[in-house]
Structures are given as C-alpha cells and as structure tokens.
Amino acid sequence: MAVDKETVRKVARLARIAEPEERLEPLAKEISGILGWIEKLNEVDVDGVEAMASTVDVSLPMREDELQDGYTGGGQPDKVVANAPKSEENFFVVPKVVE
C-alpha cells in the first residue's frame, strides 16, 4: 500500500520524530517503496497459522518478588540519573508536563 504525505506526518508524530515539511514527500516515496516490496507476503496462505513472537519455546521464568543485589537492585538513585542530560536531587528534570 502506498502511503501519502499526511500518513507520514501522522506516523512521525506517533513516533515522536520531528520531520520537516520538505522531508514528508520523499519519506512517503521511500516508505511506499519498501511497503510495496513487503506486500509480497499477501501471496502466502496463513489461514490457521499461529503468530510467532519468539523462537524460544519456554514460558517466562518467574522469580520471587524481592529486591536483587547489584545492578538491578535498589538504593542507587545516583547511578540511575548519572547519565541524565538534566537532573536535580536524583530526579530527572523535564519541561513542565502538568498545567
């Protein structure tokens, strides 16, 4: 299926990527080209076939819900925010989101 400029605008908004007006048309062309190639899949009969999300045939392993040691443990807020572009008192700082 061919996508148009307006669809690209909508999808870019959903993906939270600012695309300048002049990029929308070329992107629509590129994405349509790729989707056209992908559409070959419509030839395959998939009636009654289950959708495969993973090749690993095991159920998700469970563990006790308790605090772990090390990297995945608690009590390390300074490490959690260490790479933040902006932080204060171990909080991430973002523009105001609530009026």
Partner 1 sequence: MTHPTELTLAELRDALKAKDVSSGEATDAYLTRIEAAGELNAFITVTADKARAMAKASDNKLAKGEGGDLEGVPLGIKDLFCTEGVLTTAGSHILDGFKPEYESTVTTNLWNDGAVMLGKLNMDEFAMGSSNETSFYGPVINPWRRTDNDAPLAPGGSSGGSSTSVAARLCAGATATDTGGSIRQPASLTGTVGVKPTYGRVSRWGVVAFASSLDQAGPITRDVRDAAIMLRSMAGHDPKDSTCINRPVPDYEAALGQSIKGLRVGVPKEYRLDGMPEEIETLWAQGIEWMKDAGCEIVDISLPLTKYALPVYYIVAPAEASSNLARYDGVKYGHRTKDYFDILSMYENTRAEGFGDEVKRRVLIGTYVLSAGYYDAYYLRAQKVRKKIFDEFTDAFEKCDLMLTPSAPSAAFGLGEKFEDPISMYLNDIFTVTANLAGLPGASVPAGLDKQGLPLGLQLLAKPFDEETMFKGMHALEQAADFNAKPDEWWG
Please state, in angstroms and rounded to a whole number, the distance separating the CA atoms of residues 10 and 29: 15
To partner 1, the closest distance from the beta carbon of 89 in angstroms equals 16
Tabulate helix, strand, coil % of the chain (nearest 5).
40, 5, 55
To partner 1, the closest distance from the beta carbon of 64 in angstroms equals 12
Would you tell me which residues interact with partner 1 (CB under 8 A)? 3, 7-8, 11-19, 27, 30-31, 33-35, 37-44, 46, 49-56, 58, 60-61, 63, 71-72, 76, 79-80, 82-86, 92, 94-97
To partner 1, the closest distance from the beta carbon of 91 in angstroms equals 11
At 62 the three-state DSSP class reads coil
Cα 80 to the center of its chain, rounded Å: 21
